[in-house]
Amino acid sequence: MATLLRKIGLIRLHNRDTEDPKHHHNHRGGGGGQQSASLRGKGGAKSGGHKQQQQQQQQQQHPGGAGDSSPGPGKGKGKRAAELAPRDKPPQPAAGAAGAAGAGGPRERAAGARAGPGPAVAAAAAAGGSLVPAGRQQHCTQVRSRRLMKELQDIARLSDRFISVELVDESLFDWNVKLHQVDKDSVLWQDMKETNTEFILLNLTFPDNFPFSPPFMRVLSPRLENGYVLDGGAICMELLTPRGWSSAYTVEAVMRQFAASLVKGQGRICRKAGKSKKSFSRKEAEATFKSLVKTHEKYGWVTPPVSDG
């Protein structure tokens, strides 16, 4: 009997637990509350770690805002950002550099502004807008002018009147040089006497980098044959080429060498009808000289035998 009563009591307890909605809700809510509390704890830990990671990233991107502390969620940060904005703003590039620094984001442009112009920009500035090339050109002009003025003074002091100089259009860099004398035992000297030719006229133009590069020299009159004088009045002499030139050579020395080469090459004044009055051409002389320089650079220059003097 006691066993039966215990069974009946257990059945009633079971029914009350299963049928009472309030008891059932409290029972399930208690377990669910613990589970949700644990989930909230995990979520809070995750969100806290995520927020800490975001703060670290913001500190890396903006070192100046690492110590910000604001009472409100948005007001303090906005005020602090407004205060930092003018100081963190990078300097505006110049109008000329804006195109060169236009590529990339804000941080790339700011890094480029701090690092200065790159090598390509510096090279372009040196090539176009820098004062270095102009200064160098001015220096070369001064060197050339001083050298040529000294050359004119030295030629004016020559006692034998071997050569004389006239400036073309008052230009210090364009000379007409008169060669008054050659070897008096040569056939060329005899031709000059017979044709009443007082001098052989030559033209010398001096490049920008003279005396470190040779002048361009050609015969103007009279029309000569042989004597290393070629078409257009070009002159075949190694010392007139960049390979054979030396800055120590003077105009006087060049003219004396030319007078000697005329005699060695059996130069004569042209007396053929219809050809003797034909003048030399600068364009033809330049083309001929350029061609002979290429030929001699390929095959070398022929040295005259010792017997020729």
One DSSP character per residue, 109-172 reads HHHHHHH---HHHHHHHHHHT-SHHHHHHHHHHHHHHHHHHHHHHHHHT-SS--EEEEEGGG-T
Paired with 177 in beta bridges are: 165, 202
User: Is 140 marked active-site?
Assistant: no
User: How far is residue 176's CA from residue 221's CA, in Å, rounded to a whole number?
Assistant: 11
Q: Which of 148, 179, 236, 255 is catalytic?
A: 236
The verdict on whether omega for the bond into residue 73 sits within 30 degrees of 0, i.e. cis, is no
Question: What is the distance between the terminal CA atoms of the chain, rounded to a whole angstrom?
Answer: 160
Instruction: Please state, as a whole number, how many other Cβ atoms lie within 10 Å of the Cβ of residue 255.
Output: 21
* Residues with active-site annotation: 236
